[in-house]
Amino acid sequence: MARAKGADAAGRISIPIDRRALGRLVLGFLGGLVLWLVFSAPYERVIAAAAEAALRTFESPAVTSLKASGGEILVDRADFPPSSPRPGLPAADLHFNFVLLCALFAMTPRPFSPGNFGRFWAAAALLAVVHVAALILQVESVYATQLGPWSQAHYGPVARNLWAGAFHFYLIAGRFAAPFVLWWGLGRIADSRR
């Protein structure tokens, strides 16, 4: 199994995977799960604040407010009637893929080496950007499709399909692909530069 990471002698893609790598993957998964469980609540507050800021930047007037509470992101708008219910979006669906990222980066032979550790946190930061983008898509998807006559009045058919389709893509494929792409891009390709 001794071969250059990322490319073998003939320039082909090669992937070091053995029993030890599988063991590290399981440990990485469990470690990631613990981190995720401990930091989920504060993390949700951070991504809610970031998504709110981004949404308000492009709103006129800026009316959206997002609050993380009890595993949900509560969506509110200053122009909603006070008596109408506020949609609550399940937050775990957005960001549990952090656990996958931990497991994949842990597979590396020296997971705690400064290089791998740095690349892992760079990937985690990019994943956080993905989470904020996904939350924006989810809020816009709710605005565009789930608020009855209000949605019809404010979003045309193209916009409705675009927002709903983009968030559906994240739910079905994007959230699982993101950790894999970040691991492959930052972890494996960057590793092969050394």
Partner 1 sequence: MKDEAKTRGRRRSLGFLARFLALLVVFYFLVAWGPVNDAVIVPFTGAIARVSSLVLSVLGEGTHVEGTEIRSDRFAVNIENGCNGVETALLFGSAVLAFPAPWKRRLAGLALGLVAIQIINLVRVVSLFWIGVHKPSLFSSSHTVLWQSVVVLCGVLLFLLWATWGTGKRVAAVERHGAGKGR
Helix axes 114-145, 19-57, angle to 10 degrees: 50
Question: Minimum CB separation from partner 1 for residue 110, in Å?
Answer: 18
Residues that bind partner 1 (CB under 8 A): 1, 3-4, 6-17, 22, 25, 29, 33, 36, 90, 92-93, 96-97, 99-100, 103-104, 165, 168-169, 171-173, 176-177, 180-181, 184-185, 188-189, 192-193
Smallest distance from partner 1 to CB 150, Å: 25
Nearer to partner 1, 54 or 190 (CB): 190
Q: Min. distance of Cβ 97 from partner 1 in angstroms?
A: 8
Q: Which two tokens stand for residue 45?
A: 């507050």
CB atoms closer than 10 angstroms to residue 30: 14
DSSP state, residue 183: I
CA distances to 32, 41, 106, 175 from 100, in Å:
8, 18, 10, 10
Considering the complex, state which of residue 26 and residue 125 has its C-beta at the smaller distance from partner 1. 26
